[in-house]
């Protein structure tokens, strides 16, 4: 669906050992990216982290070969959260950072996310230049004497653990609090429980036994049933669930009710606004965030700025307009005072700081607004663009009119797979559902006709 062949909404992603996620292509990506970031006469360095997928071994070595071939040194940190890779890239003055992960996807997929020397995700323009480099062929290799070297960073976990602990000031009140943490059998399986335990919590672990195949399977932020059960069964005060690369988080209160990124942003925003810490006069979120969040923020004198889907677009808007809090409904929470990208563990700590400040239970403050009914639907397409079909255009226009000013209808092309994503929300659940049904049917009919031509 995207004009680019390799990079999508969040880096490169696909089925492991199938194009574009093959050792050959990934090595070419490493060589092209390394060549692009050879700037100046200093010894260049790239930092590579990964989650716990079996295919991570394959791509770690392929990337290492590509970078070394153009004369860039490689620092390997092993399984680490995506935000840790971003932080360490900047801390070690690396020229580039790479995270091997398919985020919340199951083990069969894998992907590549890249960070610049400032710890921020690469821009669309830079990704396009890397893709052009891959298409142009292998860049000029370094001479035998100029090849890069590879080494492992032994204290990567300790560095991130201390970084996370230092992201909160004042007492968290975790002593005596029981916290269930579900690490999705992913990249946070060591560091997240350690941080919580060292801060004084009684930690109950879930999803901390990765075997290369069980990442995000029946656990983590996209499958919270086990988390909710364990919270209620163990009498925990709160539960947190990360995704496979630990840049997302959702929260479960003591009664087993799970809240998403919109609720987490509402809680942190209100807490920071009361403490005089919130900058920008509000929050930055994507077009997918619930209208209930926007109304809640307006009710306490704050704004909601919306961007296209993708946490890096949230970050770009935050940097350009002076905001220090943003995120996505899915649980990417970006707090620019502390990190350059979404960090699930840091966001969870801020939730606990808000709880400590109020002395109340998670169920009392974790759900500050009632979400409007929202319906999501994906329509798979092939070939021509069905959104250019007259029937689809008419159905979309009618959907907007039916929802009126009190609702929203969003139609967008996926950046990662050949689908059209539909979302509608409003006060009337039946109307919202009917609008999505009608628009999805029209788009599917147009897609079917286009595919048949």
Residue 32: which pLDDT band, with cuts at 50, 70 and 90? very high
Q: Are both 97 and 25 inside the same structural domain?
A: yes
Considering only CA atoms, which of 65, 66, 67, 87 is closest in space to residue 77?
87
Q: What is the CATH number of the domain that holds 150?
A: 3.40.120.10
Backbone angles phi, psi at 98, to 5 degrees: -130, 130
- 399: CATH: 3.30.310.50
**CB–CB of 207/183 below 8 Å?**
yes
In this structure, is residue 288 part of a structural domain? Answer: yes
440 and 314 in one domain? no
Half-sphere exposure of 90 (CA within 13 A, CB side): 16
Percentage of residues in the chain having pLDDT higher than 90: 87
Tens digit of each residue's pLDDT (9 = 90 or more) over 278-325: 999 999 999 999 999 999 999 999 999 999 988 999 999 999 999 999
Q: What is the DSSP string of 9-65?
A: TTEEEEETTBTTBSHHHHHHHHHHHHHHT--SSSPPEEEEEE-S-TTHHHHHHHHHH
Note whether 18 and 102 are same-domain residues: yes
Asked whether residue 230 falls in the same domain as residue 270, the answer is no
Q: Residue 449: which pLDDT band, with cuts at 50, 70 and 90?
A: low
289 lies in the same domain as 362? yes
Same domain (yes/no): 196, 139: no
Whether 21 and 127 map to the same domain: the answer is yes
Stretch among 229-243, 328-342, 417-431 having the lowest mean pLDDT: 417-431
Q: Do residues 42 and 151 share a domain?
A: yes
What is the residue range of 193's domain?
A: 177-259
Whether 213 and 280 map to the same domain: the answer is no
Considering the candidates 69, 101, 103, 270, report the single residue annotated as catalytic: 103
Look up the pTM and report it.
0.92
Assess if residue 405 is contained within a domain. yes
Residue 417 and residue 434 in one domain = yes
Q: Would you state the structure tokens that stand for residue 314, as one six-digit string?
A: 């949230």
Question: What H or E segment, with its residue span, contains residue 97?
Answer: strand 96-100
pLDDT of residue 201: 96
Please check whether residue 165 lies inside any domain of the structure.
no
Are both 252 and 273 inside the same structural domain? no
| Whether 33 and 141 share a structural domain | yes
Residue 337 within any structural domain of the chain: yes
In a domain, 105, yes or no: yes
Domain boundary pick from 210, 234, 259: 259
**Intra-chain end-to-end CA distance of the chain, in Å:** 18
1 occurs within a structural domain = no
Catalytic site residue 103? yes
Residue 10 has a pLDDT of 87
pLDDT top residue among 240 and 383: 240
Number of domains in the chain: 4
pLDDT in tens, 113-132: 999 999 999 999 999 999 99
């Amino acid at each position: 669906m995207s004009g680019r062949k390799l990079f999508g909404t969040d880096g490169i992603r696909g089925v492991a050992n199938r194009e574009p996620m093959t050792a050959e292509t990934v090595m070419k990506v490493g060589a092209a990216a390394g060549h692009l970031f050879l700037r100046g006469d200093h010894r260049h360095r790239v930092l590579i982290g990964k989650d716990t997928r079996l295919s991570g071994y394959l791509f770690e070595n392929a990337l290492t070969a590509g970078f070394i071939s153009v004369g860039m040194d490689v620092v390997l940190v092993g399984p680490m959260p995506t935000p840790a890779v971003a932080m360490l890239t900047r801390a070690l003055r690396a020229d580039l950072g790479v995270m091997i992960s398919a985020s919340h996807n199951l083990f069969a997929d894998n992907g590549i996310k890249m960070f610049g020397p400032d710890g921020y995700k690469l821009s669309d323009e830079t990704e396009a230049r890397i893709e052009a480099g891959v298409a142009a062929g292998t860049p000029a290799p370094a001479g035998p004497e100029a090849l890069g070297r590879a080494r492992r960073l032994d204290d990567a976990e300790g560095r991130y653990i201390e970084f996370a602990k230092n992201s909160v000031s004042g007492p968290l009140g975790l002593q005596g609090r029981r916290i269930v943490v579900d690490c999705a059998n992913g990249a946070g399986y060591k560091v997240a429980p350690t941080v919580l335990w060292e801060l004084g919590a009684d930690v109950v672990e879930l999803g901390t036994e990765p075997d290369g195949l069980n990442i995000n399977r029946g656990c983590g932020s996209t499958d919270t049933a086990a988390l909710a059960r364990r919270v209620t069964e163990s009498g925990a005060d709160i539960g947190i669930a990360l995704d496979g690369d630990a840049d997302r988080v959702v929260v479960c209160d003591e009664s087993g009710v799970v809240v998403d990124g919109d609720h987490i942003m509402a809680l942190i925003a209100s807490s920071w606004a009361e403490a005089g810490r919130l900058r920008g006069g509000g929050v930055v979120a994507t077009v997918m965030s619930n209208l209930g969040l926007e109304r809640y923020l307006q009710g306490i004198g704050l704004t909601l700025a919306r961007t296209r889907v993708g946490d890096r677009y949230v970050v770009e808007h935050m940097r350009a307009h002076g905001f220090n809090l943003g995120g996505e409904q899915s649980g990417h929470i970006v707090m620019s005072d502390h990190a350059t990208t979404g960090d699930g563990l840091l966001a969870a700590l801020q939730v606990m700081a808000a709880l400590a400040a109020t002395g109340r239970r998670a169920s009392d403050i974790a759900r500050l607004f009632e979400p409007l009914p929202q319906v999501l639907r994906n329509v798979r397409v092939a070939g021509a663009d069905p959104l250019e079909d007259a029937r689809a255009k008419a159905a979309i226009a009618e959907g907007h009119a039916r929802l009126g000013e009190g609702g929203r209808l969003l139609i967008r092309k996926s950046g990662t797979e050949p689908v059209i994503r539909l979302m509608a929300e409003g006060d009337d659940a039946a109307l919202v559902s009917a609008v999505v049904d009608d628009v999805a049917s029209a788009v599917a009919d147009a897609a079917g006709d286009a595919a048949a031509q």
